[in-house]
Amino acid sequence: MIVCKFGGTSVGDAQAIARTASIIAGRRERQPVVVVSALGGATNMLLRIAEQSAKGQLIGALSAVEALRDRHLKQTETLLRDDATASADISGELSAMFDELAALAEALKTLGDLTPRSLDAIASLGEQLSSVLVVAAFRAQGLPAEHVDARQVMITDAQYTRAEPHPDAIAEAAQRLIMPMVRAGSIPVMGGFIGSAQGTGVTTTLGRGGSDYSASLVGAALQAEAIEIWTDVDGMLTADPRVVPDARLIERIGFDEASELAAFGAKVLHPNTIAPAVMRGIPVWVLNSARPEGTGTLITFDSPRRPVTAIAGKSGVTLLKVRSPRMLLTEGFMRTLFEVFERHHTSVDVVATSEVSVSVTIDDVSRLEALVIDLRALGDVTMERNRGIVSIVGNGLSDGGSAMATALSAIGELRVHMLSLSSSGINLTVVVDGEQVNPAMQRLHRAFFPAAVVS
Ligand code: ASP
Ligand code: MG
């Protein structure tokens, strides 16, 4: 049994949904369980509808409801054009959900207040709609799809908009509701992202992008052989292709390497969301639904050791340096320093220290002013905005060999503000001027992944 998750673009329109159906048709004998996102862009639109309604802008909200309704009904019509009865049934079912959405919008307008709980009631509609539509589309292509109400499986706590899953309850529900369908030869289809609070059954969501998390939780609950995350890129690449046009596909990557890349700029998927599966030894594939013949990227707990797997980068980083003679030969200074960051809920990315100074980088500058005031109590503070980070990630980076020398010579004369090698030796991070991030990535990529020589 495998779990196949399709993101918003893989179910974005009738053509994409039809392609998704044929991907599943080709995997019948592997007993797929399907998890789908909302139609691409639908969740954003639903959240906007909720906000507008609560602000009293009901006309705008309701016209967005109708635009979203049209989009879903058009896809239904196209996908079910050979079966008028099914088309009418599904259109009716979807339309009823849109009526409910319009009623929710009006209620929010009256209340003039948007609670996380009502936000989830609205945001969850995207996956409720897409899962019904995808079941119908699969059936129209002859696949024995069966709808699973994700809220009966994805049992969570009651932290609306970022609910925490309860893995034991999910495992029990998945075994009870999904497993029999799989055994009977059906193809269960459920929405990702949404769940319900244990005890009350009120609808919750797992947070933005939560469908990958749903797929991983269901895969872990069913002890799946593999999880496939179908998206709109070929997999994870050796660098961002917008910066490094000849970036290439990483065929296999370790979970820890993927996590480092995500933290330092790669955007394909957030590794935390696949942790429940990877930790149980379930391999996770990232695949392109527009090019299903591609090999994709395989993420596993362990991966082949190599010095460099990929280069990531991001700009818009702020560097803070605290110099204090008090640091010399004293203990506890670091703790005091980091408590300041903790107090201001600001997470630190890269750290480097000398005997009398500490440099850290942060992404989130929303508490910067307060942070700096508190840091000044510890020493002289300098702040450098508009820095960037370039990260060289590989689980064999510090195994010896020439990787470090290659990295430093590739960076060449670019101004380096900070350098840090993680203790696990998997990530060499260089802080440069913001505008040097792309050139640094290009140089490093050229050095570690020289273009194939055509002979
Ligand atoms: N539809 C949700 C979102 O856009 C969840 C997901 O697609 O993963 O955040
Ligand atoms: Mg996504």
pLDDT tens sequence across 347-360 = 998 898 887 899 99
Q: What confidence tens digit (pLDDT) does each residue in 304-314 have?
A: 888 899 999 99
Q: Whose CA is nearest to atom 2 of ligand 1?
A: 209
What is the structure's pLDDT at 455? Answer: 47
Say whether pLDDT at 271 is over 90: no
Alpha helices in 391-430 (DSSP H): 403-411
Task: Tell me the Cα Rg of the chain.
Answer: 25
The residues whose Cβ lies within 5 A of ligand 2, an ion, are 7, 209
User: Of 120, 129, 204, 208, which is best to mutate to test ligand 1, by the most ligand atoms within 8 angstroms of its C-beta?
Assistant: 208
Q: What is the mean pLDDT of residues 210-233?
A: 96
Banded model confidence at residue 454, pLDDT cuts 50, 70, 90: low
| Neighbouring residues of 81: CB distance < 8 A, sequence distance ≥ 6 | 87
For residue 197, give the amino acid letter. Answer: A
What is the structure's pLDDT at 333? Answer: 85
The span from the CA of 23 to the CA of 20, in Å, is 5
The span from the CA of 343 to the CA of 38, in Å, is 37
Residue 36 CA to ligand 2 center (angstroms) comes to 10
* Nearest Cα to Cα of residue 241 among 313, 297, 290, 294: 313
Banded model confidence at residue 186, pLDDT cuts 50, 70, 90: very high
- How would you list the strands of the sheet with 194-197, edge to edge? 155-156, 194-197, 203-205
Say whether pLDDT at 261 is over 80: yes
Q: What are phi and psi of 265, to 5 degrees?
A: 125, -25
Percent of the chain at pLDDT > 90 equals: 83
What is the structure's pLDDT at 326? Answer: 75
* Averaged pLDDT of the chain: 94
What is the structure's pLDDT at 424? Answer: 73
Residue 37 CA to ligand 2 center (angstroms) comes to 7
The span from the CA of 126 to the CA of 194, in Å, is 9
User: Of 5, 205, 211, 267, which is best to mutate to test ligand 1, by the most ligand atoms within 8 angstroms of its C-beta?
Assistant: 211
* Nearest Cα to Cα of residue 46 among 146, 154, 124: 124
Residue 62 CA to ligand 2 center (angstroms) comes to 26
Hey, what are 121's tokens?
């009631």
Which CATH fold topology does 2-232 show? Carbamate kinase (3.40.1160)
Which CATH fold topology does 310-448 show? VC0802-like (3.30.2130)
Instruction: Yes or no: say if 423 and 397 are a contact pair by the CB < 8 Å rule.
Output: no
Banded model confidence at residue 302, pLDDT cuts 50, 70, 90: confident
Q: What confidence tens digit (pLDDT) does each residue in 31-64 have?
A: 999 999 999 999 999 999 999 999 999 999 999 9
Say whether pLDDT at 451 is over 90: no
Instruction: Yes or no: say if 38 and 12 are a contact pair by the CB < 8 Å rule.
Output: no
- With a Cβ cut-off of 6 Å, ligand 1 is lined by 7-8, 37-38, 43, 126, 192-193, 208-211
Q: Which atom of ligand 1 is nearest to the CA of 207?
A: 9
Residue with tokens 């007993």: 31
Bridge partners, 299 (sequence order): 253, 284
The span from the CA of 191 to the CA of 36, in Å, is 5
Looking at all shown ligands, the one closest to residue 128's CA atom is: 1
Would you say the pTM of this structure is higher than 0.85? yes
What is the structure's pLDDT at 448? Answer: 94
CB-based burial, 230-268: b 16+ in 10 Å, e otherwise: bbbbbbbbbbbeebbeebbbbebbbbbbbbbbbbbbbeb
Residue 288 CA to ligand 2 center (angstroms) comes to 13
Least confident of 133-142, 358-367, 444-453: 444-453
Instruction: Yes or no: say if 277 and 302 are a contact pair by the CB < 8 Å rule.
Output: no
Say whether pLDDT at 327 is over 80: no
Q: Where are the domains of the chain?
A: 2-232, 310-448
The span from the CA of 323 to the CA of 326, in Å, is 9
